[in-house]
Amino acid sequence: MNPFSSGTRLRDMIKAIRACKTAAEERAVVRKECAAIRSSISENDQDYSHRNIAKLMFIHMLGYPTHFGQMECLKLIASAGFPEKRIGYLGLMLLLDERQEVLMLVTNSLKQDLGHTNQYIVGLALCALGNICSAEMARDLAPEVERLLLTRDPNIKKKAALCSIRIIRKVPDLAENFSSPATSLLKEKHHGVLIAGVQLCTDLCKVSEDASNHLRKNCTEGLVRILKDICNSPYAPEYDIAGITDPFLHIRVLRLLRMLGHGDADTSEYINDILAQVASKTESNKNAGNAILYECVETIMGIEATSGLRVLAINILGRFLSNRDNNIRYVALNMLMKAISVDSQAVQRHRTTILECVKDSDASIRKRALELVFLLVNDTNAKPLTKELIDYLEVSDQDFKGDLTSKICSIIEKFSQEKKWYIDQMVKVLSLAGNYVKDNVWHALIVAISNAPDLQGYSVRSLYKAFQLSSEQVSLVQVTIWCIGEYGEMLVNNVGVLQVEEPMTVTESDAVDVLESCLTHHSTDITTQSMCLIALLKLSSRFPPSSGRVKEIITTHIGSVVLELQQRAIEFNSIIQRHQNIKSSLVERMPVLDESTFISKRAGSSQANISTEKSNQQLPSGASLKLSNGVAKPAASPLVDLLDLSLDDTPVPTSTSNDFLHDLLDVGLTNSSSSASGTDILMDLLSIGTPVQSNTTPENGSSIKGFNDILPIAKPNTATVQVVDLLDGLASNGSHPGAQSPVHPSITAYQSSTLKITFSFTKQPDKPQVTQIHATFMNLSSEAYTDFIFQAAVPKFIQLHLDPANSNHLPASGNGRITQTFTITNTQHGQKPLAMRIRIAYKVSNQERLEQGQINNFPPGL
């Protein structure tokens, strides 16, 4: 005997491990034992293998890796003695699971053991197979198990039945083989076999429709008789639990009856009586009785029961609900959720009790009750229920608040009939639990407020009041800031006061105070601060006397270390200082957001977040500042898409942005599939015009109109190209006197190191608005260009008609030229000059190239 072999007995090892005071000690002991076991295994030490595996199992339970023992288990299983086999199978079941390939090696041993003469060994094999077999093993050994189902020994029979359950679960195709043996099992007297048999039948029904029908036809009678027997049987000491004979069998049979009666009127009718008997006779003062009643109620709900039976079931549930035992109440709440579909009136009667359960101290019960309440809400009881839930929100636990808040918000949204109630409830929820409110919820609130002009004054005042009390709720703060910015003058001038409101005076400086305090508060996050800045800008326009103060506040952030804030501060400061005349138009009231578009968009994509105040936050450059405010809304989708494009957090290129860009330029963009390039083009296009200068034409609002005209309005008479008023900045570049001279010199429209384009102009004297332009393209590089395509974009007041070019192959080094003619009609001839943006795509030695440019040097008078 090896002196290093594991001489310690199992008991001693366990004692040693338990005596360890620290984890390190324990690891040392375990390591020593594992080493001993490993050497013992490698020496094929027969005497101690039994003990080794037992030790290994203990070590496994402590959580240490024990895979080196797997082969030893297999060896033990293959040995001849019962105790070795037993511990081998136990080790197998513990140390392995069905996904390991080692398991396949056991198949042969299992097969032999299944045919063994010793019934206990057969039992071991069936147990192991039932607990751990994989699909392949199931297929291989299914015939053996089938055969064993027909033996006379009840012990083997019941184990075989349960093993078959696992086989059917793993390989549903084999279900047919087990149908008839299963039915014969139901005729047995032994309870163990009956329980296993009934369970097998239940699983058969789940897996196979045929088996289900077969059982329904042949076994329903038998099952009812079984149930009747045990229900009426006198005291049977062997199976008695809490005065009921074999509650387990009761429950199994009830479950099988439910599967058989589901959807089948005849069977349901047949089992009505026995269900009524069980429901009324069973005592419910002990858990066993309640378990049976619970299963009975589930069965009644699951079949086509008579109304009398249903009433019985709901009464039982009502009793459960008022039981003091938490388990029973939990179970009742669970069942009631299913009962709602059956008889919602009855459930409504228990509404108060259910509401009480929402406030219970037990987390599981609270959760169930909340879900149930959510299902119970309908139009009539929405208001009182919401009130109750909001009252509870105040006192609820932190971990529950999240769930509760989202449920309350869904209820409010679904069932709000009047806007005022909706706004009230949302303000309350935001004040109590704003930090748990999801973003899309308060975005929806803003959409609603913007759509309800008569309630805007009321909303901003309620928000202002709420803010005074609960300024730590971030969402509330954000909504308040937005509203004060938008509707500040309503707040101060008490516009649209409703009758229920108390009089309140808020001065301009109070409003500015609110924003300033938000901005400077230490716990405000960047998003909120950004919103504050833009709201301050809006106020400086709406409250001219406070403009100086606002400017001071904004100026303090010019040196902020956060890029977003710094950028905004500088830009807004510059607007206030130098661009007073356009300031008011910039921060005009937001257009009304189309609610239906908003809702459908929100339902459609989770990415595209079209709340305008979000777009407020994303102002990367002065150019787009002009874009997002005061934009008219000719059609909802372009607006929405436009905002999409300007959002930073939609990295996924959506097809809408593609379409939109197509609309915007409509110059046959073929490769603008990435929103990045799309955005670039858009931004580039918008920044063509120089930033607004102070000498714009005032009054006639042409500049405002210019902003409004950024979106294309589909003209029915478009030529091949839709024109877009992108270059509005140019419009403000002073006025140009209409030059009368008809001679227009040609210009070099575009020149780069690889390409040169010249334009020459002809005009007909009787059509001053129309100009013909002949473009000549010259290749300045040393390689020829192929697939040469020229595209152009023009402002909206210009129409462009492109004729086809004479070729699309441009030889190198200026050896040949391509000419193309196009006609331009300037509808604002004399008022606005021509401008054009061009884009040339071509291939050079099979590589695609792209050049873009902008032509500003058109001679005047075109």
Partner 1 sequence: MIHFVLLLSRQGKVRLTKWYSPYSQKERTKVIHELSGLILARAPKLCNFVEWRGYKVVYRRYASLYFCMCIDADDNELEILEIIHHFVEILDRYFGSVCELDLIFNFHKAYYVLDEILIAGELQESSKKTVARLITAQLVETALMFNL
Q: Which two tokens stand for residue 559?
A: 């040196």
Q: Which two tokens stand for residue 296?
A: 């009975």
Binding residue for partner 1 (CB under 8 A) from 246, 486, 644, 725?
246
Strand order in the sheet with 798-802: 747-751, 755-763, 770-779, 817-826, 798-802
How many Å apart are CA 464 and CA 476, to the nearest integer?
10
Helix (H) or strand (E) holding 849: strand 847-855
Number of amino acids touching partner 1 (CB under 8 A): 68
Q: What DSSP state is assigned to residue 793?
A: E
Q: Which among 428, 424, 469 is positioned nearest to 449, based on CA atoms?
A: 424
CB of 99 to partner 1, least distance (A): 5
Q: Cα separations (Å) of 648 from 66, 615, 620, 684?
A: 52, 9, 9, 16
Binding residue for partner 1 (CB under 8 A) from 248, 374, 400, 421?
248
Binding residue for partner 1 (CB under 8 A) from 362, 564, 588, 666?
362
Binding segment (CB under 8 A) for partner 1, from list 179-187, 211-219, 364-372, 452-460: 364-372
How many Å apart are CA 704 and CA 671, to the nearest integer?
33
Amino acid at the residue 95: L
CB of 211 to partner 1, least distance (A): 17
Asked if 82 is part of the footprint of partner 1 (rule: CB under 8 A), the reply reads: yes
Q: Using CB atoms within 10 A of its CB, is residue 400 exposed (0-12), middle (13-18) or buried (19+)?
A: middle
CB of 430 to partner 1, least distance (A): 29
Q: Which among 239, 244, 270 is positioned nearest to 257, based on CA atoms?
A: 270
- Closer CB to partner 1, 45 or 851, in the complex: 45
- Closer CB to partner 1, 295 or 613, in the complex: 295
- List 488's β-bridge partners, or say none: none
How many Å apart are CA 747 and CA 760, to the nearest integer?
7
Binding residue for partner 1 (CB under 8 A) from 19, 25, 71, 83?
83
Helix orientation angle between 175-185 and 135-148, rounded to the nearest 10 degrees: 30
Binding segment (CB under 8 A) for partner 1, from list 193-201, 508-516, 661-669, 675-683: 193-201
Which parts of 421-450 interact with partner 1 (CB under 8 A)?
none
Query: Contact letters (x/-) for partner 1, 16-35, by CB under 8 A?
Result: --x-----------------
CB of 94 to partner 1, least distance (A): 8
Which parts of 765-824 interact with partner 1 (CB under 8 A)?
none
Query: Contact letters (x/-) for partner 1, 130-159, by CB under 8 A?
Result: xx-----------------------x--xx
Asked if 249 is part of the footprint of partner 1 (rule: CB under 8 A), the reply reads: yes
- Closer CB to partner 1, 164 or 624, in the complex: 164
Query: Contact letters (x/-) for partner 1, 84-123, by CB under 8 A?
Result: --xx--x--xx--xxx------------------x-x---
Asked if 361 is part of the footprint of partner 1 (rule: CB under 8 A), the reply reads: yes
Binding residue for partner 1 (CB under 8 A) from 294, 482, 487, 572?
294
- Closer CB to partner 1, 4 or 120, in the complex: 120
Non-local (6+) Cβ contacts of 484 within 8 A are: 460, 463, 464, 491, 511, 514, 515, 535, 539
- Closer CB to partner 1, 323 or 786, in the complex: 323
Asked if 65 is part of the footprint of partner 1 (rule: CB under 8 A), the reply reads: yes
Query: Contact letters (x/-) for partner 1, 639-678, by CB under 8 A?
Result: ----------------------------------------
Contact 554, 573 (CB under 8 A): yes
How many Å apart are CA 111 and CA 104, to the nearest integer?
12
Which parts of 322-341 interact with partner 1 (CB under 8 A)?
326-327, 329-331
Asked if 63 is part of the footprint of partner 1 (rule: CB under 8 A), the reply reads: yes
| Tokens 């021509």 belong to residue | 834
- Closer CB to partner 1, 169 or 228, in the complex: 169
Q: Cα separations (Å) of 631 from 297, 444, 594, 618, 679?
A: 61, 20, 13, 15, 18
Asked if 234 is part of the footprint of partner 1 (rule: CB under 8 A), the reply reads: no
Binding segment (CB under 8 A) for partner 1, from list 142-150, 161-169, 751-759, 821-829: 161-169
How many Å apart are CA 693 and CA 622, to the nearest integer?
13
Asked if 288 is part of the footprint of partner 1 (rule: CB under 8 A), the reply reads: yes
Query: Contact letters (x/-) for partner 1, 167-186, by CB under 8 A?
Result: --x-----------------
Asked if 57 is part of the footprint of partner 1 (rule: CB under 8 A), the reply reads: yes
- Per-residue H/E/C for 757-787: EEEEEEECCCCCCEEEEEEEEEECCCCCEEE
Non-local (6+) Cβ contacts of 213 within 8 A are: none
Q: Which among 165, 101, 111, 157 is positioned nearest to 134, based on CA atoms?
A: 101
- Closer CB to partner 1, 33 or 295, in the complex: 295
| Tokens 């080790």 belong to residue | 91
Q: Which residues bind partner 1 (CB under 8 A)?
A: 11, 14, 18, 54, 57-58, 61-63, 65, 81-83, 86-87, 90, 93-94, 97-99, 118, 120, 126-127, 130-131, 155, 158-159, 162-163, 165-166, 169, 191-192, 195-196, 199, 238-239, 241, 246-249, 251-252, 255, 287-288, 290-291, 294-295, 298, 326-327, 329-331, 361-365, 367
